[in-house]
Structure 1
Amino acid sequence: MTWLKRLRRPRGPAGVDPDARLAPVRTAIDEVAGRGRPALDRLVDQLADLDAVGDDATALAALELLGGRPRVVSRLDEHARRTSWYSPHHSTVLDRLPERLDAGAAGPIAMALASTHRDGRIRERAVTAILDRPGPELMPFLVLRTGDWVGQVRNRARAGLALLLADDPNGYLPATVPTALVVQFWRRGGFAYTQALAALLTAPTEVRQALAGSAGRHLRRFVFDTALTQRWLHLDELVAAAESEGDVRIRARAAEAACREAVWTRRIGVLQRLAGSRRADVRVLALTGLVRTGHDAEVAGYLDDPAPLVRAVARDAARRLGTDLLAYYLGAVADPVPAIGAIAGLAEMGSDTAVPLLRPLLAHPSASVRARAVWALRQLEAVDVEGMVPLLRDPSPAVVRETTAALRPFHRRVPPELGWRLLADPRTELRRAGYRLLRDRSTAVRLRAGLLLAMDPYPELARRGRADVTGLVRATNLPARRRALVPELLVTAAEHADLTELARRAAGTLGADTTGLLSGWLAGAVPTQRSGT
C-alpha cells in the first residue's frame, strides 16, 4: 500500500465527524484573508491541533482547503518564519517537529509546517520528507521552497518538483499552478511556473484536456492561456468557449481570439453567431468585428441592446449611416412596451426632450420598465422627489433599489420618519432602502440606524450594519493626527438613552471590542437640548 493511500485511511477518534474538525480550520483560513497576525496565529494553532489528533485523512483535507487559497499559504509561510517560531505563545507541537521529522513520524501537516521553519536545515529536512512521501496537498509548500533563499533547500525542492510534474502532470499540476502563479514574479520565484508550463507543454493531449476541464479557476486559466499562445485551439473550439465558458476572463479571451480570426478570414457567420450571444462582453467583440468587416447596417440593429457598450458600438455604426439617433430613441420609447435598452439609450442621448416621455413610464405595468425609467431620469438629473417617493414601496425590488439611488442625493427632502418606517418593514429590500436613506444624515442617525441594522435577521444587512457601526466607533478612537473628520455625536437626553439601550441589545452581534469602544463614546457624549437628527 502506498503512503498516499495509507494517509487517506482515517486514523482519528471513532465517531468524530471530519467536517466538524475541519470547521475551525476553514474559519481560520477565511479570517486570514481580511486580518493580520492574530488570524495567522489562530490558523497555525488550528493546524497544529489538527495534526495532534493524528487523523491523516482530515489533515490532508485541511491542507487541500489551504492549497485552494495560495495567498493565504504564502502569508502563512512568511508569518511562520517571522513570528510563530520564536513567539512564546506558539503551540508546543511546533517545537517537536524537528525530532518528528528525524524519526519519520511527521504527518502531512507537520511536514507542511516544518517547511516554513526559520532554520534552513529543518526546512531542507521537511522538503526531503515531502518528496519521500509526496501528495498533491503538499505541493503548495514545496512550490514555496523552490524559491527559498537557501541554496540547498531551493535546489532539493526544485529537483523534486520537476520530477513530480514530469512523472504525473495530471496529479500534481492542479495543486502546483495556483501557488506558482502567486510566486512567479518573486525573486527566485519563477522556477515553479516555468516547470508547470514545461509539464503542460509536454503532457499528452488527453492530460491537457483533463486539466482544461478542472474545477480550479487558476489552473483552467493557465491551461487556456497556454493553449491560446500555442495555437492548440481551433476556431470552433474558441467559439464554443466564448458561448459557454463561465469564467469571464477565459470567455473574453476566447471571444477576442475567435472574432480576430473570423475578421482575418472573413467568416462573417461566426461574427453573426457570436453577436447573438447572451453575454454582453461577447456581443461587443463580435459587433466590433462586424464593423471592421463593413457591416454597419447589421450592427446598427443593436441600438436597443441592454448592454451599454453594445449600444455605444451600435450608435457609432448608426451615425455613419446617417441615422437620427434621438428621433429613433424617442420613437422606440413611445411604444406600449418599450425595450429596456431603448429607455437607457434615450437617457444616454442627454436630451431634455426625453423627460416628458420618461415620467409616465414610472407607472408602467412592467417592473423592469419602471426601474429603467427611474434610472434614466436620474441620469438626466430630472428626479422629481415627491413623485418618486411612493416608488420606495414598489412591489419590485429593482424599482426600490433604483428609486433609493435616485433619492439619496436629495435625502434632506425625504422625511426622516419614512426612513425609519422602511427600516422596520418586513421586506428586506425596504429595510435596505430605509438604511441607505438614513446613513447620509447626522452621526446620531447613522449610529442608531447602524445599530438597528446590525440586529437585522438578514445576514447581509446585519453585516453591513456591524461594519458601519464599527467604522464610526473606530473613527472616534484614532489618534488626533489621523482624524480627518471626527464624528460629532449631538443627541438629546432621550436619544442618548435610546442609543445606550440599542448598544446594549446589539452587544452580542457587535463583539466585545466594538461594544467597549461604543460604550466609551456614548459615556463621553453630553446630551444637549438640540437633536442631532
Structure 2
Amino acid sequence: MRSEDTPLDAAIRGLASGARKLARVVDVTRPEAWTALDEGIRIAIGYGEIERPAHPWTSTGRLPAALRAVLRSPAPTEAGLALALCDPSGLIREAALPHAAGRPAVLPLVAIRTTDWAAPVREKAETVLAEALRGADSGTLALTAPVILRIRRRMRGGTAAALLDEALRAAPAATVSALLLSQDRTTRRFAFGIAVERGLLTPAELARTAAYDGDMAVQDIAATAALAAGVPDDTLPLLLAARSGRVRSAGVTALRKAGRAAEAEPFLHDRSGMVRACARWVLRQDGHDPVALYRAACADPATVPDRAPLGLAECGDPKRDAEALWELTGHERALVRSSAVAGLRTFEVADFTRLLPLLDDPAAGVVREAARALLPWADRLPEEEFLRRTGPGRPPHVRVRALLLLREHGSAAYEKTVRRLLDDPDPVLRLRVRSALGIEEPAPRSQGGPSRFWRT
C-alpha cells in the first residue's frame, strides 16, 4: 500500500465503486491521464489496494458462441471495462478487448493495449483499434489520437500510429479538419501534416496559417507547403510580415518566383539570419550584389539599419570591412552597436584592447556580444579584467557576463565569485546568475500525476 493517498487513487476507487462513466473521474481530454490510469489500475489491483472486480462477462467471452448465447451476462459498464482493460492479468485484458468494440469511450485504453507485452493482447487490441478507427467520427478521433501519438514513443507503439495515419488518410475532409482545432499540439501537427499531403488546404489558407498560427511547427509545414503550391500575390504580404523568421524567409524566397526580387532588399537587414541569407540569395539571382548594398548601408551612420553591420560580416571581407564595423561599435543606437560587435565576432577579430572596453557598455546586448567574441580567448586574457567587473557598482548584465568569462578563463577565484554573486543583495543579479549558470530549483512533484487529471 502507498502511504499517501493521491488524486489518482481516488479516481481508481471511484471506478471500482461503480462509476459508470469514465468522464466522471478522469479528464478524458488529456492523454497523460489515460496512461497514468492504465498504470495506476494495474498497481492498485496488483498490490491489493482495490479488490479485483468479478468481470463475469470476460469468462463468457472465451466460450463457444452457442454457450455465450445461453450464458449471457450484462454488458460491462465503462468503469468495469476500463478496470478489465488495465488488469494485471493478461487473460482478463485479452478477454475484455472484444467488449471494447463499439465503445469509443474506452478506445484510448484499447490503443494503449496495442503496446502490451503479451502478444495475444496486443494482436487483439490492434484488430479492435483498426476496426474502430475505420470510419470513426471526429469526436472519437479527438479523444483517441492524442493517446496514440503519446504512446508511439513506446516499444511497439508505432502500430497504433500507423493505424491512425491510415484512418486519417481515408477519412472525410471534415473529420481531418476538425482535428486541426485540437487542443493537443501533437495531434494538431499530425493532422495538419496529413491535411497538407491530401491537399485539403488552399494556398491562401496555408499562407494565412504560416503567418498567424501560434505553433512554430505548423507554421513551418504551412510555409513550405505554400511555397510549393505557389503563394498568391494577395497573401504574400502575410508571409513577409510574419513574426517567425522561417515564415518570413519563405515569403522572401517567394518574391523571386513572383518576379518581385527587388523587394527583398529591405530584408537584408532582418533580425533573422535565415531571412537575411534568403534575401541575399534572391538578390544575387536577380543580378544584385548584396555586399555592395551592405557597404553602402553601413557607410552613413545617420541612416544605417540596425542589423546591417552583422549582415555585412556574413558576406563581406574581414580585411576590407572590419574597420567599418569598429566605427559602428560607438554608434548611438544600441542595436547597431551590438550588431557591429556580433559582426566582428563573425570575422573572428581578436583585438582585445578594443573588445574588452565593450564589456562596460550600458546596453546588455552589446555586452553579451562582446563576451561571446572574447569567449574563445578568455584563458589568454588577464583574470583581473573579468574579476573586477564582477564587483559591486557594476550593472547586473556586466557582472554576469564577466562571471561567465571568468569561468572560461579557469580562474581559481571562480567558485568564490559564484558564491558571492549568488548571495548578492540584488535580486535581479541573483536571478541572472542562476539563469546563466543553469541553476534551477526542481518543482515539487506530487505522486500520481497532476491533480487536474482526476475528478473526485
Structures share fold, TM-score greater than 0.5: yes
Question: CA separation in 1, counterparts of 2:294 and 2:186?
Answer: 43
Instruction: Let me know the Cα RMSD of the aligned residues.
Output: 4.5
Residues 1:96 and 2:40 are matched in the alignment: no
Question: CA separation in 2, counterparts of 1:345 and 1:338?
Answer: 12
Closer/same/farther in 2, CA of residues 428 and 102 from structure 1, 3 Å limit = farther
| Unaligned residue ranges in structure 2 (runs of 5+) | 15-22, 57-75, 443-456
Matched residue, 1:171:
139
Closer/same/farther in 2, CA of residues 107 and 454 from structure 1, 3 Å limit = farther
Question: CA separation in 2, counterparts of 1:92 and 1:177?
Answer: 27
Question: CA separation in 1, counterparts of 2:183 and 2:93?
Answer: 31
Task: Report if aligned partners of 2:383, 2:406 keep a CA contact under 8 Å in 1.
Answer: no
Closer/same/farther in 2, CA of residues 126 and 440 from structure 1, 3 Å limit = farther
Question: CA separation in 2, counterparts of 1:286 and 1:101?
Answer: 61
Larger fraction in helix: 1
Closer/same/farther in 2, CA of residues 258 and 463 from structure 1, 3 Å limit = closer
3-state SS of 2:182 partner: coil
Letter in 1 for 2:313: A
Shift of 1:432: 2.8
Q: Percent identity?
A: 29
Residues 1:115 and 2:72 are matched in the alignment: no
Closer/same/farther in 2, CA of residues 455 and 331 from structure 1, 3 Å limit = same
Matched residue, 2:269:
304
Closer/same/farther in 2, CA of residues 102 and 167 from structure 1, 3 Å limit = farther
Closer/same/farther in 2, CA of residues 202 and 460 from structure 1, 3 Å limit = farther
Question: CA separation in 1, counterparts of 2:154 and 2:376?
Answer: 46
* The 10-residue stretch of structure 1 (93-102 or 403-412) with the greater mean CA deviation from structure 2: 93-102
Letter in 2 for 1:196: L
Which structure is richer in relative contact order (CA contacts within 8 A, separation 6 or more)?
2
Task: Report if aligned partners of 1:287, 1:299 keep a CA contact under 8 Å in 2.
Answer: yes
Question: CA separation in 1, counterparts of 2:392 and 2:52?
Answer: 59
3-state SS of 1:102 partner: coil
Closer/same/farther in 2, CA of residues 102 and 293 from structure 1, 3 Å limit = same
Shift of 1:235: 1.8
Q: Describe the superposition over 1:356-394 as per-residue Cα deviations: whole angstroms up to 9, x where unpaired.
A: 222232222211111111111111223543334343343
Residues 1:232 and 2:225 are matched in the alignment: no
Closer/same/farther in 2, CA of residues 216 and 466 from structure 1, 3 Å limit = closer
Aligned residues: 407
Shift of 1:340: 2.7
Closer/same/farther in 2, CA of residues 326 and 221 from structure 1, 3 Å limit = closer
Letter in 2 for 1:342: A
Question: CA separation in 2, counterparts of 1:110 and 1:448?
Answer: 61
Shift of 1:347: 0.9
Letter in 2 for 1:359: W
3-state SS of 2:332 partner: coil
Matched residue, 2:7:
50
Q: Please point out which of 218, 238, 244 is paired with 2:212.
A: 244
Q: Describe the superposition over 1:309-350 as per-residue Cα deviations: whole angstroms up to 9, x where unpaired.
A: 333333334345554444322220123141133211211213
Letter in 2 for 1:362: T
Matched residue, 2:343:
376
Shift of 1:439: 1.3
Letter in 2 for 1:248: M
Task: Report 1:56-135 matches (<5 A).
Answer: 56=14, 60-61=26-27, 64=30, 66-67=32-33, 94-96=46-48, 99-102=51-54, 115=86, 117=88, 119-124=89-94, 135=105
Q: Please point out which of 421, 430, 434 is paired with 1:462.
A: 434
Closer/same/farther in 2, CA of residues 427 and 50 from structure 1, 3 Å limit = farther
Closer/same/farther in 2, CA of residues 363 and 308 from structure 1, 3 Å limit = same
Shift of 1:221: 0.8
Matched residue, 1:36:
none
Closer/same/farther in 2, CA of residues 394 and 269 from structure 1, 3 Å limit = same
Task: Report if aligned partners of 1:252, 1:282 keep a CA contact under 8 Å in 2.
Answer: yes
Matched residue, 1:359:
326
3-state SS of 1:100 partner: coil
Q: Please point out which of 267, 286, 292 is paired with 2:251.
A: 286
Letter in 1 for 2:434: A
Closer/same/farther in 2, CA of residues 132 and 211 from structure 1, 3 Å limit = closer
Matched residue, 2:294:
329
Q: Describe the superposition over 1:219-238 as per-residue Cα deviations: whole angstroms up to 9, x where unpaired.
A: 11111111111111112211
TM-score scaled by length of structure 1 = 0.62
Shift of 1:95: 1.2
Closer/same/farther in 2, CA of residues 423 and 215 from structure 1, 3 Å limit = farther
Task: Report if aligned partners of 1:115, 1:127 keep a CA contact under 8 Å in 2.
Answer: no
Matched residue, 1:422:
390
Matched residue, 1:494:
none
Letter in 1 for 2:149: L
Matched residue, 2:373:
406
3-state SS of 1:152 partner: helix
Question: CA separation in 1, counterparts of 2:241 and 2:344?
Answer: 29
Letter in 2 for 1:274: L
Question: CA separation in 1, counterparts of 2:230 and 2:4?
Answer: 53
Task: Report if aligned partners of 1:305, 1:341 keep a CA contact under 8 Å in 2.
Answer: yes
Shift of 1:212: 0.7
Task: Report if aligned partners of 1:453, 1:464 keep a CA contact under 8 Å in 2.
Answer: no
Question: CA separation in 2, counterparts of 1:450 and 1:164?
Answer: 59
Letter in 2 for 1:241: T
Q: Please point out which of 305, 310, 317 is paired with 1:339.
A: 305
| Unaligned residue ranges in structure 1 (runs of 5+) | 1-43, 86-90, 469-508, 511-533
Task: Report if aligned partners of 2:177, 2:195 keep a CA contact under 8 Å in 1.
Answer: no
